[in-house]
Amino acid sequence: MERFDAIVCGGGPAGACAAWRLASAGASCLVIGRGIPGGKVCGGALGTRAKKHLISSGMLSADDLSRLSLREQPSMTCFHGYEPLRAFTSPGDPITMIDRLSFDAFLLDRAERAGAVVLWDDPVATVRDGGGRVETRSGNVFAAGATIGADGAAGPVGMSFRPPGRRHPAGVALECFIGMPSGFPEEIGIHFGLTDYGYAWVFPRRDDVCVGIGSLDGRASPPALRDALERLMRRLGLEPPGKGALRAAPIPSGRPSRKLGAGRVFLAGDAAGLTDRLTGEGLSHAVESGFLAAEAVIAGWDRKRLSRTALRGCLGIVRESCLARHLVYHPLFRNRAMRGLRENAKFFEGYWGLVSGNTGYAGMLAGFLRRK
């Protein structure tokens, strides 16, 4: 039986970042993926927090990010339904629009170059012996000093290590990519009010537009979301895609656990439920938690220390978002939130700070509580 210091289940950003950090530290590392990486419903918005983690770690350089960028996006307009609330152009770090297929492949290539071994098309079936033994669907068995579950919201590792009855209630997101018409607005568009506990997004990139909608309400109906998205696209002058062109994915939406694993298993990214419950953003949390899970393996942390460390970063932000989402989406507060986005510059700038990854929840909540 082949043995590795660590086995990473999942080859997305969380898994690739974990594998790169492990391999760079001299640990033998196997990445087991389900297929060619990328293609996830994401929007492709890379914010400041994720960029800082990638650059400060040494995994990517500013030049790498520049080559991956499809557009540097400093501007955003929010809408209530189809009515504009406020537009904003940030003087700070913009959002970097990326193609997830290219981005994920680039990160995984860095992990391989650092020495990680990558196994595709033979997904994980079970993890046994508290994370010390990993079996794939084809019957391959590997021994591991530790296992990192980075296999997504519905992956077998994260699901199997949650207590019974504590699986994350899942929202749903849909998106598609449409060629950008001549004269199409260049700024990001965020449309509230088209679905409960969620929003629709319009992300112009270099040559196309990513249009999507997501709801963090576990009762959301995909057909209803599709209808709302098609109505929005027609209002924007975009032709709705045919059957099969829309991509769908679950979004963790329940309250995340403080426990990022069990035994010798550490969880990262969506497998740990690390998705912002207001914005639905998970890319920055995937990057940060991937690095943290690798650090736990390298330094010999136990699960409690990993959870305490994450609570000061990605896990803490996600837990704050569980409260903040009600201030924006709950029927008792929704009208005040929409009025605040229209009339209160500090509240709007705080929301931009969240979306762009430049600030946390303190600024937005302070703006929400201010009258003007």
What are the Cα distances from residue 355, in Å, to 45, 74, 78, 283? 9, 11, 12, 11
Q: Which CATH class is domain 2-74+94-168+255-320?
A: alpha beta
Q: Where are the domains of the chain?
A: 2-74+94-168+255-320, 170-252, 332-369
Measured from the Cβ of residue 185, the count of other Cβ atoms closer than 10 Å reads 14
- Which residues, 6+ apart, have CB-to-CB distance to 97 below 8 Å? 44, 45, 46, 69, 70, 71, 72, 73, 203, 204, 205, 206
* pLDDT 10s digits, 176-211: 999 999 999 999 999 999 999 999 999 999 999 999
Band of pLDDT at residue 41, cut at 50, 70 and 90: confident
Which pair of structure tokens corresponds to residue 287? 């990057």
Residue matched to tokens 């010390």? 132
Q: What is the mean pLDDT of residues 310-333?
A: 89
Q: What local confidence, expressed as pLDDT, does residue 161 receive?
A: 61
**Of the candidates 348, 328, 324, 317, which has an alpha carbon nearest to the alpha carbon of residue 75?**
348
Q: Which CATH class is domain 170-252?
A: alpha beta
Do 170-252 and 2-74+94-168+255-320 have the same topology in CATH? no
* Pair type for strands 208-215 and 75-80: unpaired
Q: What is the mean pLDDT of residues 227-242?
A: 94
pLDDT surpassing 90 at residue 28? yes
Predicted structure pTM score? 0.93
* pLDDT 10s digits, 260-280: 877 889 999 998 889 999 999
Q: What local confidence, expressed as pLDDT, does residue 251 receive?
A: 86
Residue matched to tokens 């997504």? 152
Band of pLDDT at residue 163, cut at 50, 70 and 90: low
* pLDDT 10s digits, 324-366: 999 899 999 999 999 999 999 989 999 999 999 998 888 787 7
Beta strands (DSSP E) in the chain are 2-9, 29-32, 45-46, 71-73, 75-80, 83-89, 95-97, 117-119, 124-128, 133-136, 141-149, 170-179, 188-192, 198-204, 208-215, 247-252, 261-262, 265-267
Band of pLDDT at residue 79, cut at 50, 70 and 90: very high
Please tell me which residue, 244 or 20, carries the higher pLDDT value. Answer: 20
Q: What local confidence, expressed as pLDDT, does residue 34 receive?
A: 76
CA–CA dist 275, 218 (Å, integer): 14
Lowest mean pLDDT among 86-90, 245-249, 275-279: 245-249
Q: What percent of the chain has pLDDT over 70?
A: 95
